């Protein structure tokens, strides 16, 4: 039975499993998926032939099953800090040699969970990266930026202070939120609900975008939802529709 088949079958029986009775083959399969997500050899979503393809079995099933592997336990993080969780942190017990080999910079108290991938050249200021997330080369996460579960952050992306990139687990979402290469996300902005921000987009501070957000293109007059096209600048505005004042996001070149 393949790794995917083992995960698929285990997910159907998930209500029967707990840390005390998890079958060893299922436990091994889940740990293998987490290890592959952690080292970047497996991604929750990847772009193929110009389209994003989501590995649903890894995103929803393996990640959700992983929460049944362990009970909460105390995790020491230095002399004065402890955590109490069922998922270990990514950098627990790393040596200086491992950090140098990985090529990442992690500024305290930044936290990444096991099962997230941080590529070489990425910088984590005091920020948070959840399980299943992928942070590509040269990405910069400024203070209090949050990358939610299974979110995909492209090369050289800049997440400004307090930016929130939504996850897929709470509440359960069909697709991960994706920020493509060379994007700039302004301070305190929130991109959630599986929205895709395409390559090179620049988003002003304080912009909130979900699947229901109207994205108004000033040049064409078109309104989009769910996919942020390649644009130079966007910011939050309001427009009038049938005498009602409705929040939207404006695209401007």
* 56 and 104 in a common domain: no
* 197 and 91 in a common domain: yes
CATH code: domain of residue 8:
1.10.166.10
Total number of domains constituting the chain:
2
Token pair listed for 9: 């079958």
- pLDDT at residue 242 greater than cutoff 50: no
* DSSP letter string, 113-125: BTT-EE-TT-EE-
167 in a domain, yes or no?
Answer: yes
Residue with tokens 């304080």: 206
> What's the pTM value of the predicted model, to 2 decimals?
0.89
> What is the bridge-based pairing of β-strands 233-241 and 244-252?
antiparallel
Residues 138, 145: Cα–Cα separation, whole Å = 15
Three-state DSSP class for residue 14? helix
* 186 and 98 in a common domain: yes
pLDDT tens, residue by residue, 201-218: 888 888 899 888 887 777
* 97 and 184 in a common domain: yes
Range of the domain at 142: 87-209
pLDDT tens, residue by residue, 123-175: 999 999 999 999 999 999 999 999 999 999 999 999 999 999 999 886 666 78
pLDDT of residue 235: 54
């Amino acid at each position: 039975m393949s790794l995917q088949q083992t995960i698929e079958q285990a997910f159907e029986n998930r209500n029967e499993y707990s840390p005390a009775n998890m079958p060893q083959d299922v436990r091994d399969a889940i740990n293998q998926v987490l290890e592959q997500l952690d080292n970047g050899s497996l991604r929750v979503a990847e772009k193929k032939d110009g389209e994003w393809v989501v590995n649903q079995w890894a995103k929803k099933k393996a990640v959700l099953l992983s929460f049944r592997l362990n009970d909460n336990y105390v995790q020491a993080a230095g002399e004065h800090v402890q955590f109490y969780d069922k998922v270990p942190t990514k950098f627990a017990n790393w040596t200086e040699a491992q950090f140098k080999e990985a090529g990442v910079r992690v500024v305290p108290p930044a936290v990444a969970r096991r099962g997230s991938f941080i590529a070489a050249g990425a910088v984590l200021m005091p920020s948070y990266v959840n399980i299943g997330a992928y942070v590509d080369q040269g990405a910069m996460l400024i203070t209090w930026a949050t990358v939610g579960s299974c979110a995909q952050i492209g090369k050289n992306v800049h997440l400004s202070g307090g930016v929130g990139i939504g996850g897929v687990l709470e509440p359960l979402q069909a697709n991960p939120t994706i920020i493509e290469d060379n994007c700039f996300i302004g301070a305190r902005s929130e991109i959630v609900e599986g929205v895709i921000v395409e390559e090179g987009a620049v988003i002003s501070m304080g912009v909130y975008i979900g699947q229901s957000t109207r994205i108004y293109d000033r040049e064409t007059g078109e309104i989009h939802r769910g996919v942020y096209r390649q644009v130079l600048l966007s910011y939050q505005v309001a427009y009038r529709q049938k005498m009602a004042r409705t929040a939207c996001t404006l695209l401007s070149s």
